Amino acid sequence: MKGTLIVGAVLAYLLLLARSAWKQGELAQFVRALGIVAALLGFIALVVWGWIAVMGR
């Protein structure tokens, strides 16, 4: 239940940020920055997964 609430709050916040960026004509920049953040988080998750896979033997 708590996880769902947190995910919903984060999505609502991102939607409000996207709406603000759209109104200011900066939606493309917002989406690009969001993609960069997602890629960095994915890279960190991949490094952690790799570390666990190597050290978990």
Q: What is the pLDDT of residues 8-56, one digit of tens each?
A: 999 999 999 999 999 999 999 999 999 999 999 999 999 999 999 999 8
Predicted local distance difference test score (pLDDT) of residue 35: 97
User: Residue 57: pLDDT band by 50, 70, 90 thresholds?
Assistant: low
Which of 10, 30, 8 lies closest to 19, judged by CA? 30
* DSSP SS3 for 24: coil
User: Residue 3: pLDDT band by 50, 70, 90 thresholds?
Assistant: confident
pTM here is 0.77
Task: Classify the C-alpha dihedral 36-41-43-44 as positive or negative.
Answer: positive
Domain boundaries, the chain: 2-55
The answer to whether the beta carbons of residues 39 and 48 sit under 8 Å apart is no
